Amino acid sequence: MGKIYFGFAIADSMFPVGKILISRRDVSAEKVREMVKAGVVPCLNPSHAASIAVMRDRFGIDVPIPEKAPIVALEPGDSLIVMGISGLPRLEGRHEYTSEEVARARFRFGVYEID
């Protein structure tokens, strides 16, 4: 088994060059908490502090925040947990979301596995 990463997004540049097989499955916030407690490599952007606060407050998921956004290079055997967020507005001129904005947003957790 390889490394397990945690982030808010997935990018093509994270994957190895060439033909690979990627599988994805939905997971619950409870399962993500268990996986995080077992140890993950954070791939969060510290500038997304408001989203990180929502992750901690709403779901009780506490992932260390790196000093700067890391460059992730997944390899066969690695996994990436993604907390997808939709419906939150861009924060322009402020630093946190209102409780109403968070209540309207949709959150989804997925695990991508590289074979």
Q: What is the largest CA-CA distance in the chain?
A: 44
Which pTM was predicted? Answer: 0.86
Q: What is the pLDDT of residues 33-48, one digit of tens each?
A: 999 999 999 999 887 8
Q: Which residues contact 21 (CB under 8 A, 6 or more apart)?
A: 114, 115
Q: Are strands 4-7 and 79-86 parallel, antiparallel or unpaired?
A: parallel
Taking only the tens place, the pLDDT of each residue in 4-24 is 999 998 999 999 999 999 999
How far is 107 from 90, CA to CA, in rounded Å?
16
What number of other Cβ atoms are within 10 A of residue 18's Cβ? 5
Q: Are 74 and 114 in contact (CB under 8 A)?
A: yes
Model confidence at 94, pLDDT cuts 50, 70, 90, reads: low
Q: What confidence category does residue 112 fall into, taking pLDDT thresholds of 50, 70 and 90?
A: very high
Tens-digit pLDDT profile for residues 20-35 = 999 999 999 999 999 9
Residue 6 contacts residue 31 (beta carbons within 8 Å): no
> Is residue 43 within 8 Å of residue 70, measured between CB atoms?
yes
Pick the range with the lowest mean pLDDT from 54-58, 79-83, 93-97.
93-97
